[in-house]
Amino acid sequence: MYPEFAPRHQKIIFVTGSTASGKSQWAIELAKKYNGSIVNIDSIQFYEKLIIGSAAPTEIEKIQTPHYLYNYVPAPNEMTAGEFLRDFYKLLERKDLQFPLFVVGGTGFYIQALEKGMYNIPEVSQELKQQIENEITKFGNEKAYNELIEFDPESKIHINDAYRIGRALEIKRAFGKTMFQLKSDFEKNNKFNLKLPYLKIGKLLNKEILFKNVTARTHKMLSAGLIQEVEPLLNQGLHQWAPLQSVGYFEVVQYLQNKMPKENLNAEIIQSTMQLIKKQKTWFKRDDTILWSDESVLIEKQIEQKIDLFLNESKI
RNA sequence: GGCCGGGUAGCUCAGUUGGUAGAGCAGAGGACUGAAAAUCCUUGUGUCGGCGGUUCAAAUCCGUCUUCGGCCA
């Protein structure tokens, strides 16, 4: 599943950046220019039927350039970083795949997962996951936190972070390991990092421009039928479905459940989107290997020269 | 014009029998290895509408002015 090596002509370019930065457009231009393909690495655009609110590519765009891993996960399935890796490597086996691959998305966690690999542990059973989740809701964080700290006194997880406590307990009970042990095992022998040559580029716009983009795009989503996109999903009882907790979808669910007046919807979505952008920026700060462009065409061109070099070099 | 409420952090509001203020949200910063567009952490000095007064001490009591609601003329 994880290839140990790959032919040298198989090159990858990550195109990242915050929401509403124009990275998808840029990626499409590049894919056309270099006759490559687009691969999704946005955590919401994986899902079937989440088209408008996730700003997924249009049908026309998909016809013009090969797009992969978009809108294919049906509800109530939920995507995970690990599942994404499996799907990605399965995609690489396709004979008709046109390289270079432009892997596009703003989900830093997934980019990291693909680039560095993930801790090598099997999937935890649904039963155990459910059991731990139930315990935490029933007995509260403290009991779970105490179990964790007793087992792993070094744990840095905050007592309020029920999600991470739960995950750490899953690892403890299923494999008897601490998160730190997983990490050091992983660092000693990481077979799962990305073996193909790759380059990372991104779009970083200033806040004022992003706010304008977000405002325009939120308006567009709502008039394109975002509410109508969510309604049938709610009718199927999917209000707990993870992607419906995401920016834009969450607010529409609130509205449809009469927890928010319609006149607030637009502003609330804009606000959440700006908060998301802020978190994405914070994530990207940890990675100083991304070549950043802004709204200036000049820098974009300079980066494209680097892409030329990267694609032409035949190292190894 | 009269009566009753309100005017406290950018917003919505708490402030017990007077001891110079605090929550949520927003904003700012950060963490992050299988939900990640999620989850979590850190961060609150503001003429307590103005001016007088009572008091050792007033957002809190009194007077007055101002302003926004509502009701009655």
Alpha helices, DSSP H, located in chain A? 23-34, 59-64, 81-92, 108-116, 126-139, 141-151, 162-175, 179-188, 207-223, 226-235, 249-256, 262-284, 297-312
CA–C1' gap, A275 and B21, in angstroms: 30
Task: Find, among A77, A108, A95, A102, the residue nearest to A25 by Cα.
Answer: A102
Digitized pLDDT (tens) for each residue of chain A, 316 residues in all: 444 444 447 899 999 999 999 999 999 999 999 999 999 999 999 999 999 999 999 999 999 999 999 999 999 999 999 999 999 999 999 999 999 999 999 999 999 999 999 998 888 988 999 999 999 999 989 999 999 999 999 999 999 999 999 999 999 999 999 999 999 999 888 788 999 999 999 999 999 999 999 999 999 999 999 999 999 999 999 999 999 999 999 999 999 999 988 989 999 999 999 999 999 999 999 999 999 998 888 999 999 999 999 998 775 4
Quote the CA–CA distance of A41 and A115 in Å, as a whole number: 12
DSSP state of A52: T
ipTM: 0.92
| Residue A197, CB, strand B, below 7 Å | no
Distance in angstroms (rounded) separating the CA atoms of residues A259 and A114: 38
What pLDDT, on a 0 to 100 scale, did the predictor assign at position A147? 95
Q: Per residue in A174-191, pLDDT tens? A: 999 999 999 999 988 878
- Asked whether residue A204's C-beta has any atom of DNA/RNA strand B within 7 A, the reply is no
Measuring from the CA of residue A167 to each C1', which nucleotide is nearest? B34
A166 touches strand B (CB under 7 A): yes
Helix (H, G, I), strand (E, B), or coil: what is residue A50? Answer: coil
What is the per-residue pLDDT for A315? 54
Give the pLDDT score at A278. Answer: 96
Residue A262 CB neighbours (<10 A): 11
| Cα–Cα separations (whole angstroms), residue A199 to A57, A102, A108, A166 | 22, 10, 15, 35
Chain B bases near protein CB atoms (7 A cut-off): 26-41
Residue A89 beta carbon within 7 A of nucleic strand B: no
Q: Nearest nucleotide by C1' from A50 CA?
A: B37
pTM of the model: 0.92
In 3D, which of A65, A107, A62, A64 has the Cα closest to residue A85?
Answer: A107
pLDDT at A295: 84
Which nucleotide's C1' atom has the smallest distance to the CA of A250?
Answer: B37
